[in-house]
Amino acid sequence: MTNKNFMTAQDVADALGISKSYAYKLVRQLNDEMEALGYITVRGRVDANYFRKKVCYSE
């Protein structure tokens, strides 16, 4: 995984070893959480730092 600001569903699938269809569900879920916190999201992409925080890659 490279240093990108946003991750695609394919990036999420590769990072977690899951199917691309399930990765899309996770991207949607994470974006919904971020929108509830007042952040602007990009459909089909998730903020890489938020992703890492939620899957316990970093604090």
The per-residue pLDDT for range 1-51, each reduced to its tens digit, is 456 899 999 999 999 999 999 999 999 999 999 999 999 999 999 999 999
Nearest partner of 7 among 32, 27, 21, 33, judged by Cα: 27
**Partners of residue 47 on adjacent β-strands:** 6
Residue 59 is predicted with a pLDDT of 53
Angle, nearest 10°, between helix axes 9-16 and 20-36?
110
- Using CA atoms, how far residue 45 sits from 23, 30, in Å, is 11, 10
Give the domain range for residue 38.
6-54
Residue 4 is predicted with a pLDDT of 83
Question: Quick check: is 1 in a domain?
Answer: no
Q: Residue 18 and residue 37: Cα distance in Å, rounded?
A: 26
- Using CA atoms, how far residue 30 sits from 4, 20, in Å, is 17, 15
Question: Quick check: is 23 in a domain?
Answer: yes
Question: Quick check: is 59 in a domain?
Answer: no
* Structural domains in the chain (count): 1
